[in-house]
Chains A and B, each alone.
Chain A
Amino acid sequence: MSAQLWAVVVVGIVVLAAACLEAFRARRARSRTVGAAAAPASDPYILYFTGEGCTVCRTHQEPALAKLDGVRVDKVDAIADRELADRFNVYTLPTTVVMSADGRALHVNYGYAPANKLDRQLTEARTGPAMERTATA
């Protein structure tokens, strides 16, 4: 096998390992609680982690969040509030976390999450304990 083919194989393994790490991080982040800092909520809401250097936040994520109907969105500066960002293993921006009314993380989306995905997760969050918990990247 030529060096070029070996290189392609090596890169394939690296990409696969990165995907597995991403899935592991997302799984670990779910079911975290927001803690005492959370304002009381009567409905599921979204924690939206952003930062000043995040272009996708402005060009994609914020328009998607604006499409959601009557949903509370808590905007968090991930650099200024490092403790909260670390609690949800925020390593990329944007990150959106769908929270239950009692402050549990139900879905963690690393990277851009489109409006229909967030809407589906919020709907699941409203259906109660039977909902399926997921963490996606």
Chain B
Amino acid sequence: MGELYSDSHREVGSIHMALTTVDHSALKVNQTGIVATVLVAVLGSQYLPALIWLIPLLAIVLLVGTFAPQYALFKQLYFQVLKPRGFVKPRPVQDRPEPHNFAQGLGGIFLTISSLFLFGPLLAGDFRPGPGLVIGLALALIVAVLAFVNLAFGYCLGCQIYFQLSKRGVIRAS
């Protein structure tokens, strides 16, 4: 048995736990939704260009879900449909929701920037495909890659950025 909490050990600093219960299945459904939507938008747009509109729509969904979690589309899909019908089992974990919300918001911001690259030239009346299209698609794919890494390996880059900002006092981790 590892002696993690033995008195003989140093415990540097004080770790204040202000934890609530977070259902990690809701987070997983959210990440799955992000990966699936971006893949359909990026790969599908090669054959059906209108699918590219899914990227700004997803940006809106993520940003709305960050500031008003009760309207988070994929999480509500989980809480209203998947969980009650037993398709996905709940996985409550003692956790703080703030880093996950921060990560979601960051994804929304990246997708907003992606949308500006994708649709900015169009709005300016330039209908020729340019480097902005590649940058926009790449940014959207990066969001999907990070969501997949979180889904598959439990590594949340947005949560780590939250940690770094907390460490520097930019965000108060209360």
* Chain B contacts for A54, CB-based, 8 A: 159, 163
- B43 at interface by CB-CB < 8 Å: yes
* Chain B contacts for A52, CB-based, 8 A: 15-19, 96, 173
| A101-131 to B contact mask, C-beta < 8 Å, 1/0 | 0000000000110000000000000000000
Give complex CA distance A46, B162 in Å: 25
- A28 at interface by CB-CB < 8 Å: no
Segment among B77-85, B119-127, B138-146 that sits at the interface with chain A: B138-146
- A87 at interface by CB-CB < 8 Å: no
Shortest distance between the CB of A115 and any CB in chain B (Å): 8
CB < 8 Å neighbour of A3 from B6, B93, B129, B155: B129
- B163 A79 Cβ-Cβ under 8 A: yes
Give complex CA distance A37, B13 in Å: 12
CB < 8 Å neighbour of B45 from A4, A76, A77, A92: A4
Chain B binding surface SS class: mixed
| A37-56 to B contact mask, C-beta < 8 Å, 1/0 | 11100000000101111111
- B154 A51 Cβ-Cβ under 8 A: no
Query: In which size bucket is the chain B interface?
Result: 35 or more
A74: nearest residue on chain B (CB-CB)?
A: B10
CB < 8 Å neighbour of B42 from A4, A55, A70, A79: A4
Q: Which residues of B, 126-153, contact A by the 8 Å Cβ criterion?
A: 129, 133-135, 137-138, 140-142, 145
Give complex CA distance A52, B14 in Å: 10
- B173 A75 Cβ-Cβ under 8 A: no
Q: Which residues of A, 13-39, contact B by the 8 Å Cβ criterion?
A: 14-15, 37-39
CB < 8 Å neighbour of B13 from A53, A70, A71, A80: A80
A residues near B (Cβ < 8 Å) are: 2-4, 6-8, 10-11, 14-15, 37-39, 48, 50-56, 58-60, 62, 65-82, 84-85, 91-93, 111-112
